[in-house]
Amino acid sequence: MVARTPLSPSPLKTPPAAAISPIQRHTASTPKPLSSMVDKRSSYTDLNMPADHLFRASSGTRTPSALQRVPNMDSSSKSLSVSRRSSEELKRDMSSLENTSSPAASSPTASVPPSTRGRLREGRKDALSALAMEYGGSKRNALLKWCQKKTEGYQNIDITNFSSSWNDGLAFCAVLHTYLPAHIPYLELSSQDKKENFTLAFQAAESVGIKSTLDIGEMVYTERPDWQSVMTYVTAIYKYFET
């Protein structure tokens, strides 16, 4: 008899047990595992392939980043070599600068105040200015002191001015004898032979390129020659030998 429920109008039919196969019965009664319901994922073991297989891949399959690695490495190595070479050149330049003294350091006026440095530059342009800085006073007095110092120990010499102290020619001979002793036999000279003295002095000066600006005849007969003319000639002697 078919069992009936009060709520269902139609009877429930249950198939006989003999009509269900053992396999269907096992499937229906046993739940499927979760792993069978999820898609199978690739195992990491599937990616384990020989390294040479990867390198044998054609160049066309390389990614752009892989293709750009070689030129990037070359450019970086080039820039590294350039920077290294530049640093080496900089070290050589620094060592050369240390070994060679700079003009500012070697200059004798590097530590001199600007005002004094200006006077030194002026002294280079004007030899008498440098002489005045050395001896003090005016250019005229400085040159006079220089003449006195040069003729120390010479007989019959007493230089106190640029006029009467030079009227016999011995002062010129004494100054030039300190530079050109072979041209002037000073011990043989006399204050009475003015013409001989002037001639020897002027010839000795001309032998090295100092032109005479004084006239022998005028100097012989003048007791007090023009001091400016005498000073100009003595200045030429000083500049030639001392500057």
What average pLDDT score do residues 29-38 get? 50
3-class SS shares of the chain: helix, strand, coil, % to 5: 60, 0, 40
What average pLDDT score do residues 190-218 get? 95
Residue found by looking up tokens 């070994």 in the block: 99
User: What are φ and ψ of residue 197, in 5° steps?
Assistant: -65, -45
From 241, 215, 239, select the one nearest 129 (Cα to Cα).
239
Q: How far apart are CA 243 and CA 124, in angstroms?
A: 9
What average pLDDT score do residues 129-149 get? 94
pTM of the model: 0.51
What average pLDDT score do residues 84-92 get? 64
Residue 234 near residue 147 (C-beta atoms within 8 A): yes
pLDDT in tens, 140-188: 999 999 999 999 999 999 999 999 999 999 999 999 999 999 999 999 9
